[in-house]
Structure 1
Amino acid sequence: MITLATKVTILRILLVPVCLSQLIYYAVGYADGAAKEWHRLLAFWVFVVASLSDAVDGFIARQFNQQSQLGRVLDPIADKMLLMTVIILLAINPGGAFPKLPLWFPILVVSRDVLLIAGALLIHIVVGEVKVKARIVSKVATLCQMVTLACVMLKMDPASIAWPLYAAGFFTAVSFIWYLFDGVKQFNTVVNLKT
Protein backbone atom coordinates (compact mmCIF):
# COMPACT_ATOMS: atom_id res chain seq x y z
CA MET A 1 0.00 0.00 0.00
CA ILE A 2 1.27 3.46 -0.88
CA THR A 3 1.33 5.81 2.11
CA LEU A 4 -0.03 9.36 2.08
CA ALA A 5 3.53 10.68 2.41
CA THR A 6 4.58 8.75 -0.71
CA LYS A 7 1.50 9.99 -2.59
CA VAL A 8 2.59 13.57 -1.84
CA THR A 9 6.06 12.72 -3.21
CA ILE A 10 4.49 11.24 -6.36
CA LEU A 11 2.43 14.43 -6.74
CA ARG A 12 5.69 16.42 -6.66
CA ILE A 13 7.08 14.26 -9.48
CA LEU A 14 3.90 14.80 -11.51
CA LEU A 15 4.09 18.57 -11.00
CA VAL A 16 7.57 18.79 -12.58
CA PRO A 17 6.41 18.54 -16.23
CA VAL A 18 3.54 20.95 -15.50
CA CYS A 19 5.99 23.55 -14.17
CA LEU A 20 8.44 23.01 -17.05
CA SER A 21 5.77 23.17 -19.75
CA GLN A 22 4.46 26.48 -18.40
CA LEU A 23 7.98 27.94 -18.22
CA ILE A 24 8.61 26.84 -21.82
CA TYR A 25 5.25 28.23 -23.05
CA TYR A 26 6.07 31.53 -21.39
CA ALA A 27 9.60 31.65 -22.84
CA VAL A 28 8.41 30.83 -26.37
CA GLY A 29 5.73 33.51 -26.14
CA TYR A 30 8.28 35.97 -24.77
CA ALA A 31 10.65 35.28 -27.68
CA ASP A 32 7.77 35.87 -30.11
CA GLY A 33 6.73 39.08 -28.35
CA ALA A 34 3.48 37.49 -27.18
CA ALA A 35 4.26 36.24 -23.68
CA LYS A 36 1.28 35.25 -21.60
CA GLU A 37 1.98 36.13 -17.99
CA TRP A 38 -0.39 33.47 -16.70
CA HIS A 39 2.02 30.77 -17.98
CA ARG A 40 4.83 32.25 -15.88
CA LEU A 41 2.64 32.72 -12.82
CA LEU A 42 1.20 29.21 -13.11
CA ALA A 43 4.75 27.82 -13.35
CA PHE A 44 5.67 29.82 -10.24
CA TRP A 45 2.71 28.56 -8.18
CA VAL A 46 3.19 24.96 -9.33
CA PHE A 47 6.86 25.26 -8.33
CA VAL A 48 5.87 26.68 -4.92
CA VAL A 49 3.38 23.85 -4.31
CA ALA A 50 5.93 21.24 -5.42
CA SER A 51 8.62 22.81 -3.21
CA LEU A 52 6.32 22.92 -0.18
CA SER A 53 5.30 19.31 -0.78
CA ASP A 54 8.91 18.37 0.01
CA ALA A 55 8.40 19.51 3.60
CA VAL A 56 4.85 18.14 3.77
CA ASP A 57 5.74 14.58 2.76
CA GLY A 58 8.59 14.48 5.28
CA PHE A 59 6.35 15.82 8.04
CA ILE A 60 3.61 13.28 7.28
CA ALA A 61 6.11 10.41 7.13
CA ARG A 62 7.63 11.29 10.51
CA GLN A 63 4.49 12.42 12.31
CA PHE A 64 2.32 9.48 11.27
CA ASN A 65 5.04 6.83 11.06
CA GLN A 66 4.62 6.47 7.29
CA GLN A 67 8.27 6.11 6.38
CA SER A 68 8.66 3.54 3.63
CA GLN A 69 11.39 2.21 1.39
CA LEU A 70 9.53 3.53 -1.66
CA GLY A 71 9.31 6.98 -0.08
CA ARG A 72 13.02 6.94 0.80
CA VAL A 73 13.82 6.21 -2.86
CA LEU A 74 11.29 8.55 -4.49
CA ASP A 75 11.78 11.62 -2.26
CA PRO A 76 15.35 12.49 -3.36
CA ILE A 77 14.45 11.63 -6.97
CA ALA A 78 11.50 14.04 -6.81
CA ASP A 79 13.69 16.75 -5.27
CA LYS A 80 16.38 16.39 -7.92
CA MET A 81 13.88 16.23 -10.78
CA LEU A 82 12.24 19.46 -9.65
CA LEU A 83 15.38 21.43 -8.89
CA MET A 84 17.65 20.18 -11.69
CA THR A 85 15.13 20.62 -14.49
CA VAL A 86 14.09 24.11 -13.39
CA ILE A 87 17.69 25.22 -12.74
CA ILE A 88 18.83 23.98 -16.15
CA LEU A 89 15.86 25.54 -17.98
CA LEU A 90 16.26 28.90 -16.25
CA ALA A 91 20.03 28.81 -16.84
CA ILE A 92 19.45 28.22 -20.56
CA ASN A 93 16.89 31.05 -20.36
CA PRO A 94 15.32 30.60 -23.79
CA GLY A 95 14.60 33.92 -25.44
CA GLY A 96 15.94 35.87 -22.45
CA ALA A 97 12.54 35.54 -20.79
CA PHE A 98 13.91 35.52 -17.24
CA PRO A 99 16.65 37.27 -15.27
CA LYS A 100 19.95 35.60 -16.10
CA LEU A 101 21.38 33.06 -13.66
CA PRO A 102 25.18 33.17 -13.51
CA LEU A 103 26.78 30.14 -15.15
CA TRP A 104 28.52 29.05 -11.94
CA PHE A 105 25.17 28.37 -10.23
CA PRO A 106 23.85 25.51 -12.40
CA ILE A 107 27.38 24.13 -12.75
CA LEU A 108 27.82 24.06 -8.95
CA VAL A 109 24.42 22.53 -8.21
CA VAL A 110 24.45 19.94 -11.00
CA SER A 111 28.09 18.88 -10.50
CA ARG A 112 27.56 18.57 -6.72
CA ASP A 113 24.67 16.18 -7.27
CA VAL A 114 26.42 14.22 -10.01
CA LEU A 115 29.54 13.81 -7.85
CA LEU A 116 27.50 12.80 -4.80
CA ILE A 117 25.60 10.19 -6.82
CA ALA A 118 28.87 8.87 -8.32
CA GLY A 119 30.42 8.71 -4.84
CA ALA A 120 27.39 6.89 -3.43
CA LEU A 121 27.55 4.37 -6.28
CA LEU A 122 31.27 3.82 -5.67
CA ILE A 123 30.69 3.26 -1.95
CA HIS A 124 27.79 0.93 -2.74
CA ILE A 125 29.94 -1.13 -5.13
CA VAL A 126 32.95 -1.33 -2.81
CA VAL A 127 31.30 -1.33 0.61
CA GLY A 128 27.86 -2.70 -0.17
CA GLU A 129 25.87 -0.15 1.83
CA VAL A 130 25.68 3.62 1.70
CA LYS A 131 24.73 5.44 4.89
CA VAL A 132 23.49 8.93 4.15
CA LYS A 133 22.63 11.25 7.01
CA ALA A 134 20.35 14.15 6.23
CA ARG A 135 22.32 17.28 7.07
CA ILE A 136 20.71 20.58 8.04
CA VAL A 137 23.18 22.40 5.77
CA SER A 138 21.84 20.39 2.82
CA LYS A 139 18.26 21.29 3.71
CA VAL A 140 19.26 24.98 3.92
CA ALA A 141 20.98 24.67 0.51
CA THR A 142 17.82 23.18 -1.00
CA LEU A 143 15.66 25.92 0.53
CA CYS A 144 17.99 28.65 -0.81
CA GLN A 145 17.97 27.02 -4.26
CA MET A 146 14.16 26.96 -4.23
CA VAL A 147 13.94 30.61 -3.13
CA THR A 148 16.43 31.61 -5.85
CA LEU A 149 14.43 29.87 -8.57
CA ALA A 150 11.16 31.35 -7.30
CA CYS A 151 12.72 34.85 -7.40
CA VAL A 152 13.87 34.26 -10.98
CA MET A 153 10.40 33.04 -11.99
CA LEU A 154 8.91 36.19 -10.45
CA LYS A 155 11.42 38.20 -12.53
CA MET A 156 12.69 40.08 -9.50
CA ASP A 157 15.52 42.56 -9.95
CA PRO A 158 19.09 41.16 -9.82
CA ALA A 159 19.78 42.68 -6.38
CA SER A 160 16.81 40.80 -4.91
CA ILE A 161 17.92 37.55 -6.52
CA ALA A 162 21.54 37.94 -5.37
CA TRP A 163 21.11 37.16 -1.67
CA PRO A 164 19.34 33.78 -2.08
CA LEU A 165 21.60 32.97 -5.05
CA TYR A 166 24.85 33.47 -3.12
CA ALA A 167 23.40 31.77 -0.03
CA ALA A 168 22.40 28.80 -2.20
CA GLY A 169 25.89 28.66 -3.69
CA PHE A 170 27.55 28.83 -0.28
CA PHE A 171 25.36 26.18 1.37
CA THR A 172 25.50 23.92 -1.70
CA ALA A 173 29.32 24.00 -1.61
CA VAL A 174 29.43 23.45 2.18
CA SER A 175 26.98 20.53 1.97
CA PHE A 176 29.06 18.95 -0.80
CA ILE A 177 32.21 19.17 1.33
CA TRP A 178 30.36 17.75 4.34
CA TYR A 179 28.95 14.80 2.36
CA LEU A 180 32.36 14.24 0.79
CA PHE A 181 33.94 13.92 4.26
CA ASP A 182 31.10 11.58 5.32
CA GLY A 183 31.68 9.40 2.26
CA VAL A 184 35.46 9.26 2.70
CA LYS A 185 35.03 8.41 6.38
CA GLN A 186 32.51 5.66 5.59
CA PHE A 187 34.75 4.26 2.86
CA ASN A 188 37.87 4.32 5.07
CA THR A 189 36.06 2.69 8.00
CA VAL A 190 35.06 -0.31 5.91
CA VAL A 191 38.43 -0.56 4.15
CA ASN A 192 40.21 -0.49 7.54
CA LEU A 193 37.90 -3.21 8.88
CA LYS A 194 38.72 -5.44 5.90
CA THR A 195 42.50 -5.11 6.37
Structure 2
Amino acid sequence: MNTANKITMIRVVLVPIFMVLFMIDNVMCHYAALGVFVLASITDAIDGHVARKYNQVTTFGKFVDPLADKVLTTAAFLILMYYDRMSVWALMIVLVREFAVAGIRLVAAGEGKVVAASMWGKLKTVTQMVAIIVAMLLLPIQNTFLGVHPKLISDILIWISVVFTIISGVDYIAKNWNLMEMK
Protein backbone atom coordinates (compact mmCIF):
# COMPACT_ATOMS: atom_id res chain seq x y z
CA MET A 1 0.00 0.00 0.00
CA ASN A 2 1.47 3.35 -1.04
CA THR A 3 1.65 6.54 1.06
CA ALA A 4 -1.40 8.20 -0.52
CA ASN A 5 -3.57 5.15 0.18
CA LYS A 6 -2.28 4.94 3.77
CA ILE A 7 -3.33 8.56 4.31
CA THR A 8 -6.78 7.74 2.90
CA MET A 9 -7.07 4.78 5.26
CA ILE A 10 -6.22 7.06 8.19
CA ARG A 11 -9.33 9.08 7.25
CA VAL A 12 -11.42 5.90 7.23
CA VAL A 13 -10.15 4.95 10.70
CA LEU A 14 -10.79 8.47 12.04
CA VAL A 15 -14.52 8.35 11.18
CA PRO A 16 -15.61 5.99 13.98
CA ILE A 17 -13.31 7.81 16.43
CA PHE A 18 -14.98 11.08 15.43
CA MET A 19 -18.44 9.58 15.91
CA VAL A 20 -17.70 7.97 19.28
CA LEU A 21 -16.21 11.20 20.65
CA PHE A 22 -19.16 13.22 19.44
CA MET A 23 -21.74 10.87 20.90
CA ILE A 24 -20.24 11.36 24.38
CA ASP A 25 -22.40 14.07 25.93
CA ASN A 26 -19.56 16.35 26.92
CA VAL A 27 -18.46 19.67 25.38
CA MET A 28 -14.76 18.74 25.57
CA CYS A 29 -15.45 15.47 23.76
CA HIS A 30 -17.41 17.37 21.11
CA TYR A 31 -14.45 19.67 20.53
CA ALA A 32 -12.09 16.67 20.46
CA ALA A 33 -14.39 15.12 17.85
CA LEU A 34 -14.25 18.35 15.88
CA GLY A 35 -10.43 18.16 16.01
CA VAL A 36 -10.60 14.61 14.65
CA PHE A 37 -12.97 15.79 11.89
CA VAL A 38 -10.61 18.63 10.93
CA LEU A 39 -7.66 16.21 10.86
CA ALA A 40 -9.63 13.77 8.72
CA SER A 41 -10.64 16.62 6.37
CA ILE A 42 -7.01 17.66 5.99
CA THR A 43 -6.07 14.11 5.00
CA ASP A 44 -8.46 14.49 2.05
CA ALA A 45 -6.31 17.27 0.58
CA ILE A 46 -3.03 15.59 1.48
CA ASP A 47 -3.74 12.14 0.00
CA GLY A 48 -4.75 13.58 -3.36
CA HIS A 49 -1.70 15.84 -3.47
CA VAL A 50 0.64 12.96 -2.58
CA ALA A 51 -1.00 10.65 -5.11
CA ARG A 52 -0.59 13.13 -7.97
CA LYS A 53 2.85 14.47 -7.02
CA TYR A 54 4.46 11.07 -6.49
CA ASN A 55 2.51 9.22 -9.19
CA GLN A 56 0.69 7.08 -6.61
CA VAL A 57 -2.75 7.17 -8.23
CA THR A 58 -4.26 3.68 -7.91
CA THR A 59 -7.57 1.99 -8.58
CA PHE A 60 -7.85 1.38 -4.83
CA GLY A 61 -7.36 5.08 -4.15
CA LYS A 62 -9.88 6.10 -6.80
CA PHE A 63 -12.45 3.91 -5.04
CA VAL A 64 -11.64 4.43 -1.35
CA ASP A 65 -10.85 8.18 -1.38
CA PRO A 66 -14.31 9.36 -2.47
CA LEU A 67 -15.92 6.69 -0.27
CA ALA A 68 -13.95 7.92 2.76
CA ASP A 69 -15.08 11.48 2.02
CA LYS A 70 -18.72 10.46 1.81
CA VAL A 71 -18.57 8.41 5.01
CA LEU A 72 -16.88 11.28 6.88
CA THR A 73 -19.30 13.99 5.74
CA THR A 74 -22.37 11.76 6.08
CA ALA A 75 -21.39 10.85 9.65
CA ALA A 76 -21.01 14.55 10.47
CA PHE A 77 -24.30 15.45 8.79
CA LEU A 78 -26.12 12.71 10.72
CA ILE A 79 -24.70 14.05 13.97
CA LEU A 80 -25.75 17.59 13.04
CA MET A 81 -29.22 16.33 12.19
CA TYR A 82 -29.37 14.51 15.54
CA TYR A 83 -28.61 17.80 17.29
CA ASP A 84 -31.18 19.65 15.14
CA ARG A 85 -28.53 21.63 13.27
CA MET A 86 -29.32 20.16 9.85
CA SER A 87 -32.52 19.68 7.97
CA VAL A 88 -33.49 16.17 6.90
CA TRP A 89 -34.24 17.70 3.47
CA ALA A 90 -30.71 19.05 3.17
CA LEU A 91 -29.29 15.65 4.08
CA MET A 92 -31.59 13.91 1.60
CA ILE A 93 -30.42 16.19 -1.23
CA VAL A 94 -26.79 15.48 -0.33
CA LEU A 95 -27.39 11.71 -0.22
CA VAL A 96 -29.29 11.63 -3.53
CA ARG A 97 -26.43 13.51 -5.20
CA GLU A 98 -23.85 11.14 -3.69
CA PHE A 99 -25.75 8.04 -4.82
CA ALA A 100 -26.24 9.49 -8.32
CA VAL A 101 -22.56 10.33 -8.74
CA ALA A 102 -21.53 6.94 -7.31
CA GLY A 103 -23.85 5.29 -9.85
CA ILE A 104 -22.32 7.30 -12.69
CA ARG A 105 -18.85 6.28 -11.53
CA LEU A 106 -19.88 2.61 -11.39
CA VAL A 107 -21.31 2.70 -14.90
CA ALA A 108 -18.20 4.49 -16.16
CA ALA A 109 -15.94 1.95 -14.47
CA GLY A 110 -17.90 -0.83 -16.15
CA GLU A 111 -16.98 0.75 -19.47
CA GLY A 112 -13.34 1.18 -18.48
CA LYS A 113 -13.65 4.93 -17.88
CA VAL A 114 -12.85 7.02 -14.84
CA VAL A 115 -15.02 9.94 -13.76
CA ALA A 116 -12.59 12.29 -12.06
CA ALA A 117 -13.62 14.82 -9.44
CA SER A 118 -14.64 18.09 -11.04
CA MET A 119 -13.99 21.59 -9.80
CA TRP A 120 -17.64 21.71 -8.70
CA GLY A 121 -17.24 18.44 -6.80
CA LYS A 122 -14.19 19.76 -4.99
CA LEU A 123 -16.00 23.02 -4.20
CA LYS A 124 -18.93 20.98 -2.88
CA THR A 125 -16.63 19.06 -0.56
CA VAL A 126 -14.93 22.22 0.72
CA THR A 127 -18.25 24.01 1.39
CA GLN A 128 -19.61 20.92 3.15
CA MET A 129 -16.55 20.62 5.37
CA VAL A 130 -16.58 24.34 6.22
CA ALA A 131 -20.31 24.18 7.05
CA ILE A 132 -19.76 21.11 9.23
CA ILE A 133 -16.82 22.64 11.09
CA VAL A 134 -18.64 25.92 11.79
CA ALA A 135 -21.87 24.14 12.78
CA MET A 136 -19.96 21.90 15.18
CA LEU A 137 -18.05 24.83 16.64
CA LEU A 138 -21.34 26.62 17.30
CA LEU A 139 -23.20 23.54 18.53
CA PRO A 140 -22.66 24.12 22.27
CA ILE A 141 -23.70 27.76 21.96
CA GLN A 142 -27.40 28.12 22.71
CA ASN A 143 -27.70 31.92 22.82
CA THR A 144 -27.20 34.45 20.07
CA PHE A 145 -23.69 34.72 18.69
CA LEU A 146 -22.78 38.12 17.24
CA GLY A 147 -26.49 38.95 17.29
CA VAL A 148 -27.49 35.83 15.34
CA HIS A 149 -28.67 32.46 16.64
CA PRO A 150 -26.02 29.77 15.97
CA LYS A 151 -28.62 27.48 14.36
CA LEU A 152 -29.32 30.14 11.72
CA ILE A 153 -25.60 30.44 10.95
CA SER A 154 -25.37 26.64 10.64
CA ASP A 155 -28.49 26.50 8.45
CA ILE A 156 -27.17 29.17 6.08
CA LEU A 157 -23.79 27.48 5.67
CA ILE A 158 -25.31 24.03 5.23
CA TRP A 159 -27.77 25.28 2.60
CA ILE A 160 -24.92 27.03 0.76
CA SER A 161 -23.13 23.68 0.68
CA VAL A 162 -26.35 22.05 -0.55
CA VAL A 163 -26.49 24.52 -3.44
CA PHE A 164 -22.96 23.50 -4.44
CA THR A 165 -23.97 19.86 -3.96
CA ILE A 166 -26.82 20.32 -6.45
CA ILE A 167 -24.63 22.21 -8.94
CA SER A 168 -21.93 19.54 -8.81
CA GLY A 169 -24.50 16.76 -9.17
CA VAL A 170 -26.05 18.41 -12.23
CA ASP A 171 -22.54 18.94 -13.62
CA TYR A 172 -21.62 15.25 -13.22
CA ILE A 173 -24.90 14.12 -14.79
CA ALA A 174 -24.63 16.56 -17.71
CA LYS A 175 -21.01 15.65 -18.46
CA ASN A 176 -21.74 11.92 -18.27
CA TRP A 177 -25.22 11.74 -19.76
CA ASN A 178 -23.89 9.56 -22.58
CA LEU A 179 -23.20 6.81 -20.03
CA MET A 180 -26.91 6.64 -19.22
CA GLU A 181 -28.21 6.23 -22.74
CA MET A 182 -30.24 3.08 -23.23
CA LYS A 183 -28.71 0.82 -25.86
TM-score range, shorter chain: 0.7 to 0.9
State yes or no: 1:153 paired with 2:146.
Answer: no
Q: Partner of 1:91 in structure 2?
A: 81
Q: 1:48-127 alignment to 2 at 5 Å?
A: 48-93=38-83, 100-122=85-107
Is the contact between residue 107 and residue 179 of structure 2 (CA under 8 Å) also seen in structure 1?
no
Partners of 2:53 and 2:108 lie apart in 1 by 31
- Residue segments in structure 1 that go unaligned for 5+ positions in a row: 27-35, 94-98
SS of the aligned residue for 1:6 comes to helix
TM-score, normalization by structure 2: 0.85
**Deviation of 1:155 (Å):** 1.7
Q: Partner of 1:169 in structure 2?
A: 162
- Candidates 10, 24, 36, aligned match of 1:46: 36
- Candidates 122, 125, 129, aligned match of 1:142: 125
Partners of 1:70 and 1:59 lie apart in 2 by 16
* Alpha-carbon RMSD: 2.0
Q: Which amino acid aligns with 1:170?
A: V
Percentage identity across paired residues of the two chains? 27
Q: Partner of 1:24 in structure 2?
A: 23
Partners of 1:116 and 1:9 lie apart in 2 by 20
**Structure 2 vs 1, CA of residues 68 and 124 (structure 1 numbering), >3 Å: closer, same or farther?**
closer
TM-score, normalization by structure 1: 0.80
Q: Partner of 2:13 in structure 1?
A: 14
The Cα offsets for residues 142-194 of structure 1, whole Å up to 9 and x where unpaired, read as: 11111111112112613432443232011100011011112212344x95xxx
Partners of 2:60 and 2:10 lie apart in 1 by 14
The Cα offsets for residues 106-126 of structure 1, whole Å up to 9 and x where unpaired, read as: 11111111222234445556x
Is the contact between residue 85 and residue 155 of structure 2 (CA under 8 Å) also seen in structure 1?
no
Partners of 1:129 and 1:182 lie apart in 2 by 16
**Deviation of 1:50 (Å):** 0.2
Q: Which amino acid aligns with 2:178?
A: K
